Amino acid sequence: MKTVIFTEKAPKAIGPYSQAIEINGMLFVSGQIPLDPATSKIVEGGIKEQTEQVMKNIGAILAEAGYTFADVVKSTCLLSDMDNFAAMNEIYGNYYPENSPARAAYGVVKLPLGALIEIETIAGR
C-alpha cells in the first residue's frame, strides 16, 4: 500500500509531488533543495550551508516515516557546479560515517530557485 509522507519540519512541495512516498518497505524521498522549512527560502551561504540544509530536510522526512540515515540505500546528488563536489561531499559524508549508501552525482545546468544542490534519497528496511 502506498503511503504519502508529509512533515512540517521539511519544506512543503513546490509542485505536484509529495515529500516522500513509502511502499513495500521502501521510502522514496523527493529531491530536496536547501529551503528553510520555516521561511520557504533558500538558506544563506554557499554549498556547505546549502548541503547541510538539504540533509536536515531529508533527515526530517526520514524521521517522519520512521527511518534514519542508516536506512538510506541510494542517493542522487545534483549540483549546479561540479566544482562544489568536494565541499558537498564533506558535509554529505558527515551523515554517513559508515556503510554509506550507493550514490550518483551529476552536474546540471540549473536547479529550482537557483539552488546549488538537490538530493533525492531512497531508504529501505
Nearest to 65 by CA among 23, 103, 31, 12: 23
Number of domains composing the chain: 1
pLDDT of residue 15: 87
Query: 46: domain CATH number?
Result: 3.30.1330.40
Provide the residue range defining the domain that includes 31.
3-124
Mean pLDDT, residues 105-113 taken together: 97
What is the reported pLDDT for 72? 98
Tens of pLDDT, residues 57-86 = 999 999 999 999 999 999 999 999 999 999
For every residue of 4-72, DSSP letters joined together read EE--TTSPPPSSSS-SEEEETTEEEEEEE-SEETTTTEEPSSSHHHHHHHHHHHHHHHHHHTT--GGGE
CB distance 70 to 85 below 8 Å: no
Q: What's the average model confidence in pLDDT over 106-121?
A: 97
What pLDDT is recorded for position 76?
A: 98
For the stretch 14-71, pLDDT in tens is 889 999 999 999 999 999 999 999 999 999 999 999 999 999 999 999 999 999 999 9
With a threshold of 0.95, does the pTM exceed it?
Answer: yes
